[in-house]
A and B are shown apart, each in its own frame.
Chain A
Amino acid sequence: MPMATAAGHRCYELWDPMPDEVREGARRFAAVQALNELVGVLQYVEWLDRAPSHTRRQMLMAKIQDEVGHGHVVARVAEDLGMPREQILLDYLEGRTRIHNIFHYSFATWEEVGPGLLLTNSAAITQFQSLAKGVYLPYARALRKVEREESFHYQHALDLTHEILTHGDAEQRRRVQEGFELWLPRILAYLGPPDTDTLHTNRMWQVGLKPDGNDEVRQAWLNKIIPVVRKLGLHVDPALVRQAPSGEWEFEMPDWAQVKKVIANGGPSSQRRLDWVRNALDRNAPYRRALQGVA
């Protein structure tokens, strides 16, 4: 019976006895992901009522609902492990937790949305595929549901980018290219600092919750996405990312001090995200109580 991961770690279900480190680690992974889904989606919501056709608006609304749905399934995993869902957004508002670097930005133009989504979705899929190999099975199952929906988001992002590249004018196509170049370094940073040399000392790797290192995931992502981007007709500047004869991808290393600053709510849209969440929670508190009170 497959009681263990490919790496030989024992797997756990919700009510299995498990080391505290696994329980707490799984709870933290799920809660961090829930927060990032719930706050990360806001950058797409800002474009929902500008989506320029009926069908595009339907697809974008479906995507937004899916992202909140992903927040919901992983929040349920965290809740079962003792993290109440209210706490997830409260911890963020009170500065105890942070969102990923990419969610501290907003899209400045519609042309930027397509490449931004494409890079974000594909990177998230690669990362979820890795995390789904982890030892906490309810989280792994939640990630598989998420991955399936992400493949729609990925195709949607391709379609959105393709629409402008095929039918837009030169200026609009140029902005798609700029959007790609703006978001690529952000996603490289999103996948985390290099850890090939230190991975074996990472407790989450040791207990089997983090099956792959950041560098591995980043390389796997570049392997998949760069050919796709080229096929769309975008130019991949070797100064940004290039493939060595060994097959390894090389890129300009993000400025990690700067990335850290952004993550500590020092990004251009950090305050806007915090304000939105605070406002939504405050404004709706009586209705939430009404829903729970008479349920």
Chain B
Amino acid sequence: MPHIPTDSDVYEVFAQSGHGTALSHVGSIVSPRPDAAWHLAKETYGRRDDLVKLWVVRRTDMIVSSAGDRDLLAAKTRMPYRQPGFPTARRRDRSAAPPAVAAPPERRDSGLTERRDDAREPRLTDLWLALADDLFVLGNRLGERIVDYIDLEEALAVGSIGQEALAHAGTILVLCGFDQPAVDARFFDRAQAQWQVSRVVERLTDWPSLVAGGLVIAAAVAVLAERTAEAEPGAEWLSAISAIRDEQLVHLDHWRRWARALAAWPETRTEFARAYAEVTECAGDMFGARPQSQGQGVPAAAPPAGPALAVTLHERLAVLVGDNGGPGSRLPDGPRTRTWGVGGSALADSLSRGRAIRDHYAPGVFS
């Protein structure tokens, strides 16, 4: 977490030594009096070069990254697909080996896939796959909000949260043994009847509901990641799960700040309280996924969703969701099960648009 340093007589010094270059951090000085700081900095760091600019800023007025923030700052590692080299390499690789016939999508047992003793009992994998669906839809909804211009900085933040939601959705599938064509088949080619999204998904329309939905989904992913790491410490996929958890906790903070703002502002208070109540009421099914192997069409009242696991997770979710300083949550006391085919017209539209281009191409063209 970024922090605010405490040594109040220390000033950080920034200098620019040539036009067109950037201002650089050159060091720090101690000055008991603010009015002397700039002059002391000049004598300390401005004795050789012709400086164009010299800025000093009190250390306690800064918000600085901590060592633990390094993973969050590693954009190149976290988002390789936005480097110029990524599409270049794709193009080169595909030129080298044009697939005559599309390889069938594959799903192998690996990473998060578990042997199940009782096929009726949902396991962590089932819960992850269901949350991946939620994250995929959420990521797309947030993508549209990049141009909603609530504010420019907010637009950029929403863009990052949306991209991370999409990336996490993909990573989860890969950890569950999907290869890339299988990831695409799952997100693009499945009929709505085969999706098990949360009931939160159909509410991701207006901004207050997106704030509430973003908050509960981030909280749920963070909770599940924590529980997964506890279940198998030392697993090779642990770093990927930890990265997902850390990023989702940042998202959670973002949505909490929004929740507090919308709840405190007179003009938005009522609307947000209603949206928050409705969304949290739907969020009882965050850990309510049924085993994927059960197939679709299982009646809602059928097998209970792994009571012990779901109850634990749900309790942890309630702590995170309740702890936001905003309006009251209506999260149910206990977990609710998910059903196939929900998501309403929001999911239906999203799926039909996602297929609009794919349907006109041979399988395997897009990757």
Contact = CB atoms under 8 A, between A and B. Distances in A.
B336 to A, nearest CB: 28
Contact of A45 (B82, B90, B147, B358): B147
Given A2-B18, A53-B367, A69 B156 contact: yes
Q: Main SS of the interface on chain A?
A: helix
Contacts of B99: 167
Interface string B169-187: 1100000000010011001
Contact of A169 (B144, B267, B362): B362
A167 B98 contact: yes
B147 A68 contact: yes
A20 B140 CA distance: 45
A203 B251 CA distance: 48
A68 B146 CA distance: 7
Given A62-B81, A62-B82, A65-B156, A54 B183 contact: yes
Interface stretch (B32-40, B214-222, B256-264): B256-264
A49 B205 CA distance: 15
Contact of A61 (B22, B163, B265): B163
Contacts of A286: 265, 267-268, 271
The 7 A-B residue pairs whose C-beta atoms are closest, nearest first, are A65-B159, A159-B87, A290-B265, A62-B82, A167-B365, A53-B366, A72-B152
25 contacts: A1-B19, A11-B20, A41-B146, A49-B350, A49-B353, A52-B357, A53-B184, A58-B82, A61-B166, A64-B146, A65-B156, A69-B156, A72-B152, A75-B152, A89-B149, A141-B20, A152-B84, A155-B84, A162-B94, A163-B366, A163-B367, A286-B271, A289-B267, A291-B151, A294-B265
Interface of B: 18-20, 22, 50, 52-53, 79, 81-88, 90-91, 94-95, 98-99, 139-140, 143-144, 146-156, 159-160, 162-163, 166-167, 169-170, 180, 183-184, 187-188, 207-208, 258, 260-262, 264-265, 267-268, 271, 350, 353-354, 356-358, 360-362, 364-367
Interface of A: 1-3, 11, 13, 38, 41-42, 45, 48-59, 61-62, 64-66, 68-69, 71-72, 75, 85, 89, 110, 137, 140-141, 151-152, 154-156, 158-160, 162-164, 166-169, 172, 276-277, 280-281, 283-284, 286-295
